[in-house]
């Protein structure tokens, strides 16, 4: 039996590209708040013969995450892979002008929700499972206080988990993809020439090709 892959933040950018790429071999559980984006993704996956389960939830909603995990356990029992692409990109601001609401939202999505997902996804992951996180070089740059600090906190949590699971699994991989023309980057660098950036599909190919995932598996809805 093929165990599915779950992607948090699957409706656009790198998450969407990974979902399309991986759907050639696996059933995809696509998580995002944007229903329209998830439906577009589902159309793309179906167009290449794949299948997906759409989960339009907010990853900061602990009850929704728990319900999703119960559904996954009841239907499949475990996950092959989890790729965590969900992130909040707060507006750029000097540190002493960071808005309380933007700071709290950054902490809730980038750090607290990551911890919630780890806690609830762990029972669905075993020694053969893989988890993907993605670094960002913006940490520590001027005006990136909210995003940089909370993204760095997320990766610090991921690195701790990686060391803790070396012998028991899952395998934690932390990637630092090249800059891509995503909505997050456009918010930070408006007017940037997208031709000078990498492509989400190319970065997804590099990531997937570096993974040791089961081959020749049939997809199951």
pLDDT of residue 220: 46
pTM for the predicted model, two decimal places: 0.94
**Element (H or E) spanning 67, and its range?**
helix 62-75
Give residue-wise pLDDT tens across range 117-146. 999 999 999 999 999 999 998 888 999 999
Q: Is 57 helix (H, G, I), strand (E, B) or coil?
A: coil
Distances (CA, A) of 5 to 137, 144, 156: 27, 32, 23
Task: Check if CATH label 3.20.20.70 holds for domain 5-205.
Answer: no
Q: Where are the domains of the chain?
A: 5-205
Whether omega before 189 lies within 30 degrees of 0, making that bond cis, reads no
Calpha distance 14→19 (Å, rounded):
8
Give residue-wise pLDDT tens across range 4-63. 999 999 999 999 999 999 999 999 999 999 999 999 999 999 999 999 999 999 999 999
Give residue-wise pLDDT tens across range 161-214. 999 999 999 999 999 999 999 988 998 999 999 999 999 999 999 999 999 887
Give residue-wise pLDDT tens across range 168-177. 999 999 999 9
Q: Nearest 5 degrees, angle CA 219-CA 171-CA 169? A: 100
Q: How confident is the model at residue 1 (pLDDT cuts 50, 70, 90)?
A: low
């Amino acid at each position: 039996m093929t165990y599915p892959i779950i992607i948090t933040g699957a409706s656009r950018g790198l998450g969407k590209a990974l979902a399309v790429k991986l759907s050639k071999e696996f059933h995809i559980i696509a998580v995002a708040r944007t229903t329209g984006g998830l439906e577009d993704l589902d159309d793309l996956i179906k167009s290449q013969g794949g299948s997906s389960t759409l989960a339009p939830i907010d990853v900061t909603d602990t009850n929704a995450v728990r319900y999703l995990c119960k559904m996954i356990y009841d239907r499949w029992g475990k996950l092959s892979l989890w790729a965590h692409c969900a992130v909040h990109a707060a507006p750029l601001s000097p540190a002493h002008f960071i808005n309380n609401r933007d700071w709290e939202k950054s902490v809730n999505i980038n750090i607290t929700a990551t911890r919630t997902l780890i806690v609830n996804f762990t029972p669905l992951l075993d020694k053969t499972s893989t988890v993907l996180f993605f670094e960002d070089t913006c940490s520590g740059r001027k005006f990136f206080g909210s995003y940089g600090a909370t993204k760095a906190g997320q990766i610090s949590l991921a690195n701790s988990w990686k060391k803790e699971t070396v012998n028991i699994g899952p395998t934690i991989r932390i990637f630092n993809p090249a800059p891509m023309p995503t909505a997050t980057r456009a918010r930070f660098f408006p007017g940037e020439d997208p031709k000078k950036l990498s492509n989400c599909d190319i970065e997804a190919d590099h990531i997937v090709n570096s993974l040791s995932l089961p081959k020749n598996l049939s997809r199951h809805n």
